[in-house]
Amino acid sequence: MRRKNPVVRVGVIGCGLVAERRHLPALKRLQDVKVVAVADTDEERLLAVADRFSIECRFTDHRTFLAESDAEAVAILTPTQFHAKIALDALEAGKHVLIEKPLGLNMEECEELAVKGSESRKRVMVGFNMRWHSLVDEARAIVQQGTLGELRAIRSVFSQRRSPEDEPPWKRRRELGGGVLVNEGVHHFDLWHYLTGRQIEQIHAVSKTTDKHHDETVVIASTMTDGLPASGVFSLASGGQNELEVYGTCGRLRVSLYRFDGLEFSPSTAYPGDVASRLSNLISAIKHVPHAIRASHHGGSFSATFQAEWQHFVECIRDNREPACTLRDGQRALQVAIAASHSLLSGQSVCVSEAPRHLAPVPFGPGQDIPLETM
């Protein structure tokens, strides 16, 4: 008779939209997880989220939460400026920790957290949920199998229409972790490394900053290990798109993360519109239909990444093994974003390993009227 896995007790610190719409629904779908407590400094928000998900233990201070709740693991889903501090407190309290990206605001606090994490017997994972997208899994296997031949370039496009009036002030200020470069760009910096195994070494960035939103649109040109070029267009002022393309001597691989049929391989001999390639991609799309139907019951393939991410973390806790997405991964992606911010300041390319250790300030008027409140 198969033994039932013990239930892992999870607590959530931060009751914003990512908790309400992504993490808590994902956690509720896992049979071997129980959400036992939530915390947020906004009591009205705290009560609304706790009531919606029927969570009895509620705290307005994370220190009281860590001292009094019986959670074994905590999710840190607060504004970025609080990530490292709360994670350090959670490890000190003997909790396993999942930290939403980005890991922090500067390299010093990330390194302090890395030291504490290495000294702790608890598991720590950074929440780059797109690593658990089913299409990313397939794409990584294709790249690693050598199907594309020698890699020649990688590119990303992320865009989403967001009104500044609908976002909290911290999401609009670069120094607080806001703007598309720091808050969203780190996802793709991590995916470039995850798919290719290479590091970003040199980066050049240009951006559009408005009087309502720092880094509303950022364009990146970078060089990875072995001279592999990587580019990205990231924007909070356009329609929804989230995709990558990897180019090799034997073909091109396109991954569109908002489509269930978003994995397309085109051999180097084919051009857009080629009948054979389109037929092959159609057959591939049909194969993905069963998964898409299952995922649709839980908000689609993108929402399913949060459930897969948590399932992995719970298994790492249970098996006492290191998660696939480490503090080093979080540090690496933040370091690239910091280097890009200094490229924006100087107008020059920046070597990632030699970049300053803090985000560069926005050096001119736009954004100065964004309120200073952080929660």
Token digits for 272?
A: 């857009």
CA 52 to mean position of chain CA atoms: 25
Helix (H, G, I), strand (E, B), or coil: what is residue 283? helix
- The three-point CA angle 186-101-371 to 5° equals 90
Distance separating alpha carbons of residues 352 and 336, to the nearest angstrom: 6
Q: Which residues of the chain does CATH 3.30.360.10 include?
A: 132-299+347-354
Helix (H) or strand (E) holding 265: strand 263-267
Q: What is the mean pLDDT of residues 258-269?
A: 90
Share the mean pLDDT of the chain.
91
Q: What is the pLDDT of residues 307-346, one digit of tens each?
A: 999 999 999 999 999 999 999 999 999 999 999 999 999 9
Helix H, strand E, coil C: the string for 169-188 is: HHHHCHHHCCCHHHHCHHHH
Distance separating alpha carbons of residues 123 and 326, to the nearest angstrom: 9
CATH of 132-299+347-354, one of 3.30.360.10, 3.40.50.1000, 3.30.930.10, 3.40.50.300: 3.30.360.10
Confidence of residue 366 (pLDDT cuts 50, 70, 90): very low
Q: What is the pLDDT of residues 5-60, one digit of tens each?
A: 789 999 999 999 999 999 999 999 999 999 999 999 999 999 999 999 999 999 99
- Higher per-residue confidence, 310 vs 294: 310
| Cβ neighbours for 353, distance < 8 A, ≥ 6 positions apart | 201
What pLDDT is attached to residue 294?
A: 59
Q: Which CATH number does 8-130+306-331 carry?
A: 3.40.50.720
What does DSSP say about strands 217-224 and 229-235: parallel, antiparallel, or unpaired? antiparallel
Which residues participate in catalysis according to the annotation? 101
- Higher per-residue confidence, 164 vs 58: 58
* pTM for the full predicted model: 0.91
| Cβ neighbours for 62, distance < 8 A, ≥ 6 positions apart | 13, 39, 86, 89
Q: Which residues of the chain does CATH 3.40.50.720 include?
A: 8-130+306-331
